[in-house]
Amino acid sequence: MRDQPEQQAPPVQRLRIRYAKRGRLRFTSHRDFSRALERAIFRARVPMAYSSGFNPHPRISYAGAAPTGSASEAEYFEIGLAEVVDPAAVHQALDEALPEGLDVVEVVESQGGSLADQLEASHWVVDITAQPIEAAAAVATFLGTDAVPVQRMTKKGLRDFDCRAAVIALAATPHATVQGDGTRLDLVLRHGVPAVRPDDVLAGLGAVAGLDTGTAPLLTRLAQGPLDVATGEIGDPLRVSR
């Protein structure tokens, strides 16, 4: 009979880390980032805690990853450590070990609770080539519609869902793009199941108002965290515990 694996000690410290995906590194997939992070942790000599079992893995928990191709200033993960360390030292070591464009923004000690549960909504800006007047009219039509069904291919096949219910706020303002004059959409999305993404909202704008958003809109997540339902504001998930 195969011997039972050695049981690993639980983490003595948990750190929550905010990082950004910038420039060309916005095309990094979640799997690409997880590989880069594990290599960076090894090079930075971070004293990781490991899971038990026949194939121990470093204790890393990811939450709320942005879609591939999206830039982001607010991506999060949590690590469990086998030793108590200075978060500032981990911040510097990981930022130096990760490639430029995957940039560590902040490292804090966990205050407990589930990080994933605190990521209730996201604030996005979406730069499109549509003209501001057309975009503003499409936004008004979208917001005035009770339900906007869209389709997206998932791992389980083509799925139909309503993208309107997840939209807390949406506005259009003039903004220059690399192709010339265009529009910036300011978008706040509530997280849910299925998760509604900014590209789903773009599809919805096309469906209800015929808006052509161009072939390569630039999606950037500015924030994600707990949602204040009364104000629509998004809080800092590194500053709250539940």
If one compares 50 and 2, the residue with the highest pLDDT of the two is: 50
Residue 188: predicted pLDDT: 97
Q: What is the pLDDT of residues 38-86, one digit of tens each?
A: 999 999 999 999 988 778 889 999 998 999 999 999 999 999 999 999 9
Reduced to 3 states (helix: H, G, I; strand: E, B; else coil), residue 13 is strand
Average pLDDT on 114-135 reads 96
For residue 230, give both structure tokens.
């009364």
Average pLDDT on 144-165 reads 90
Looking at the domain assignment, is residue 144 inside a domain?
yes
Residue 4: predicted pLDDT: 60
Residue 159: predicted pLDDT: 86
| Residues 110, 17 share a domain | yes
Beta strands per DSSP E along 70-199: 71-81, 102-109, 121-128, 149-154, 157-162, 167-177, 180-190
- Give the integer Cα–Cα distance in Å for 188 and 124: 6
Residue 158: predicted pLDDT: 86
Give the helix/strand (H/E) hosting 220. Answer: strand 218-225
| Residues 124, 221 share a domain | yes
Q: 190, 166 in Cβ contact below 8 A?
A: yes
Confidence category of residue 1, pLDDT binned at 50, 70, 90: very low
Looking at the domain assignment, is residue 169 inside a domain?
yes
Our count of domains for the chain comes to: 2
Looking at the domain assignment, is residue 239 inside a domain?
no
Confidence category of residue 219, pLDDT binned at 50, 70, 90: very high
| Residues 142, 220 share a domain | yes
| Residues 111, 136 share a domain | no
pLDDT(16) > 50: yes
Residue 147: predicted pLDDT: 97
Give me the CATH number covering residue 219: 3.30.70
Looking at the domain assignment, is residue 232 inside a domain?
no
Looking at the domain assignment, is residue 6 inside a domain?
no
- Give the domain extent around 59: 13-117
Q: Is the dihedral of CA 97, 35, 85, 44 positive or negative?
A: negative
| Residues 172, 125 share a domain | yes
Looking at the domain assignment, is residue 151 inside a domain?
yes
pTM: 0.91
| Residues 37, 110 share a domain | yes
